[in-house]
Amino acid sequence: MLSIDVYVVHAFSKDGEGGNAAGVVLHADALTELEMKQIAKKVGYSETAFVSQSHHAEVRVRFFTPEEEVDLCGHATIATFHVLKEQGLLGSGRFTQETRAGVLEVEIRNDLTIMMQQRLPEFLPVINHQEIADSLKVPLEVLDDRFPILIGFTGLQDILIPIKSLTELLSIQPDFEKVKEISRQSDVVGYHLFTLETMEDGIAHTRNFAPLYGIDEESATGTSNGALACYLFEQSLVLKKSSTLVMEQGYGMKLPSEILVELTVAGEEISHVTVGGKATTLSVQHLDF
């Protein structure tokens, strides 16, 4: 019988509240892929991270949803490095993690903010806007036609969907089967909706739907907000210089979350993208199986 400790961490928490729950399993070298899948399904968080030794980085991290393995997960990365710091396995500084998306840099700052490197952005157009509106069960006019609907990538692919107002964004109740099918057809993780109307001092308020991966809605997401920040830069909504952007998410789920995105710009091009925030450890789950 295996006995496993799963650290339950809320990443991207705001003032110690909210955030997005992730599981973190340390010393996972002896676990098989099937066992990782079983653990992730049993604990049921949107992602669970499994940490093992690496020949290419400080640690190797694998990420599993309740359904399958994914290449990268922003909030589970924040959770992982929070636990490594909290358990005294890492100090403050810059480190690397080996993932299926490549070897990526993570910084643990003295104030316990954790920032993770993202891939440089790529964008693809989405042709059928009416299909997107139908899947969200809203009229086409709810989509903000000042901005394009694009597939954005800084590690994972999401469809970035502009919504005209905060009220309309918060009232959306999608047809998750349609969202799942469009996500599958488009080869994306899910939808990342945003509006430039915010509740506090963020640059955008967001919602994220990923039913294809067993997650109807996530309260805080890293990679999708990294892609969104780059999108806002490309749409000239961010000053053409180094910028720190605050994204709001999870408020409608009563899990208010704050995601920080730092863009470094060289000339007119983004040269570096990092995403991060704070985290809070809630508990440790003991599993026997």
- The per-residue pLDDT for range 11-54, each reduced to its tens digit, is 999 988 999 999 999 999 999 999 999 999 999 998 999 999 99
In this model, does residue 282 exceed pLDDT 80? yes
In this model, does residue 97 exceed pLDDT 90? yes
Question: For all residues of the chain together, what is the average pLDDT?
Answer: 95
In this model, does residue 133 exceed pLDDT 80? yes
Query: How would you classify residue 277: left for phi > 0, otherwise alpha for psi between -120 and 50, otherwise beta?
Result: left
- Provide CB contacts within 8 A for 114, sequence distance 6+: 77, 78, 81, 82, 85, 106, 107, 108, 276, 277, 278, 279
pTM of the predicted model as reported, rounded to 2 decimal places = 0.89
Give the homologous superfamily in CATH for domain 122-275: Diaminopimelate Epimerase; Chain A, domain 1 (3.10.310.10)
In this model, does residue 241 exceed pLDDT 80? no
CATH node for 3-117+278-288: 3.10.310.10
Confidence of residue 196 (pLDDT cuts 50, 70, 90): very high
Of 255, 259, 257, 252, the residue nearest 229 (C-alpha): 259
- The better pLDDT of the pair 218, 2 is held by 218
In this model, does residue 110 exceed pLDDT 70? yes
* Per-residue model confidence (pLDDT) at position 267: 84
Task: Write out the residue limits of the CATH 3.10.310.10 domain(s) in the chain.
Answer: 3-117+278-288, 122-275
